[in-house]
Amino acid sequence: MRELSTKKITEAVRGLCIEANTNLSADVEVALNKALKDEESPNGREILRQLIHNAGIARKEKRPICQDTGSVVVFIELGQEIRLVDGSLEEAVNEGVSRGYTEGYLRKSIVSDPLRRQNTGDNAPAFTHVRLVPGDKLTINLMCKGGGAENCSAINFFKPTSSHDEISQFIIKTVELAGPNACPPVIVGVGIGGNFELAPLTAKKALLREIGHYNSDHDLAKWEKELLVKINRLGIGPMGLGGRATALAVNIETAPCHISQLPVAVNIECHAHRARKVEL
């Protein structure tokens, strides 16, 4: 058994929240630059230039990239050979979020109750998902997810006999309905399979894959590329002002499912994609 203090988790989460929110990751910046090169629309090019310029200012001045510093989604893979000490794992994560958002001057966007809507004041709690895995390592994948894009996500239950085409249409339609509101160019996370809770979770995990990396399954990789081409023919463009760059990537992940089911979830992520990973 390896002992691991939850204080280390708090410290890690604190740091990841600040880092993710102020330092746009390289894959997104490369993708924005590529989009700028390919963009045909002058309004679209102007928006992309501003986004790239913005990432530079944010990094240099350690300012948040976007004012919506998001809700914090945390995926933890906990090695079975770890014994956690110094308190609760979930509380440690929330404490990390609280410190990161307070000390990092990040916006607090979480309300404690969906109907009474009282702000918690420290952006906690996070949405934490823990999975037990073999080994003695603890991995944290953290994402700060903006509300605007999240609101444009969707799930649909297809028939097991539904065609690829029908599923493609649903995915493209979801991006189309999101339109300018999701801050395009977007990243499209697709979760196929699982059930009512697993499909969206799979879609969210798909967003953790770096832009430019395709699914290791050859057929899925091909589908991802096809979907990206089709989405970028919609004409929505940067911020919906018309243009080529409607999406930067389509990432598909799959999960086993029931013989009577074929759920498909589409999780929309904006270009201000703030994800970080650390292993403890």
Partner 1 sequence: MSAIKLTTPLTNEAINALKAGDEVLISGTIYAARDAAHKQFGLQPPFDLQGQIIYYASPTPTKPGEVIGSIGPTTSSRMDAFTPALLAAGLKGMIGKGSRGPEVIEAIKKHQAVYFTVPGGAAALLAKRVKTARLLAYPELHSEAALELTVDNFPATVTIDSTGGNLFEAGRNKYAK
Assess 225 for contact with partner 1 (CB under 8 A).
no
Q: Considering the complex, what minimum distance in angstroms separates the CB of residue 76 from partner 1?
A: 26
- Which partner from the list ligand SF4, partner 1, none does 80 bind, CB cut-off 5 to 8 Å by kind? none
Kindly tell me which residue out of 183, 192, 245, 248 binds ligand SF4, with binding defined by CB under 6 A: 183
In the complex, what is the shortest distance from the CB of residue 88 to ligand SF4, in angstroms, rounded to a whole number?
29
Fill in the amino acid letter for 212. Answer: G
Which element (helix H / strand E) includes 149? helix 147-150
Which tokens is 66 given?
């976007």
Q: Which does 108 bind (CB under 5 to 8 A by kind): ligand SF4, partner 1, none?
A: partner 1
Q: Which one, 50 or 169, has the nearer CB to partner 1?
A: 50
254 binds partner 1 (CB under 8 A): no
Nearer to ligand SF4, 87 or 180 (CB): 180
- Does 37 contact partner 1 by CB under 8 A? no
Which residue in the set 29, 68, 253, 269 belongs to the binding site for partner 1 (CB under 8 A)? Answer: 68
Q: State which of residues 7, 34, 108, 137 lies at the interface with partner 1 (CB under 8 A).
A: 108
Token pair, residue 180, equals 């300018």
CA of residue 46 relative to chain centroid, distance:
25
> At closest approach, how far in Å is the CB of 72 from ligand SF4?
13
Segment contacting ligand SF4 by CB under 6 A, of 8-16, 115-123, 145-153, 243-251:
145-153
Residue 261: which of ligand SF4, partner 1, none does it interact with, CB under 5 to 8 A by kind? Answer: none
Residue 68 CB, nearest approach to ligand SF4 (Å): 4
Taken in order 173, 176, 178, 184, the sign of the CA dihedral is positive
Contact 185, 271 (CB under 8 A): yes
Using CB under 8 A, which of 87, 242, 257, 261 touches partner 1? 242
Question: Does residue 181 touch partner 1 according to CB under 8 A?
Answer: yes
Pick from 35, 28, 13: nearest CA to 274: 28
Q: Are residues 124 and 69 in contact, defined by beta-carbon separation less than 8 angstroms? A: no
Angle, nearest 10°, between helix axes 164-178 and 218-231? 40
Which residue's entry shows tokens 């989460």?
13
Among 84, 220, 241, 280, the residue binding partner 1 under the rule CB under 8 A is 241
Say whether residue 33 binds partner 1 (CB under 8 A). no
SS3 270: coil
Rounded-to-integer distance, Cα 135 and Cα 129, Å? 18
Is 261 exposed, middle or buried, given 0-12, 13-18 or 19+ CB atoms closer than 10 A?
A: middle
Q: Which residues bind ligand SF4 (CB under 6 A)?
A: 66, 68, 146-149, 182-183, 270, 272
Q: Which residues bind partner 1 (CB under 8 A)?
A: 40-44, 46-47, 50-51, 53-54, 57-58, 61, 63-69, 105-109, 119, 121, 146, 148, 151, 179-181, 183, 233-244, 270-272
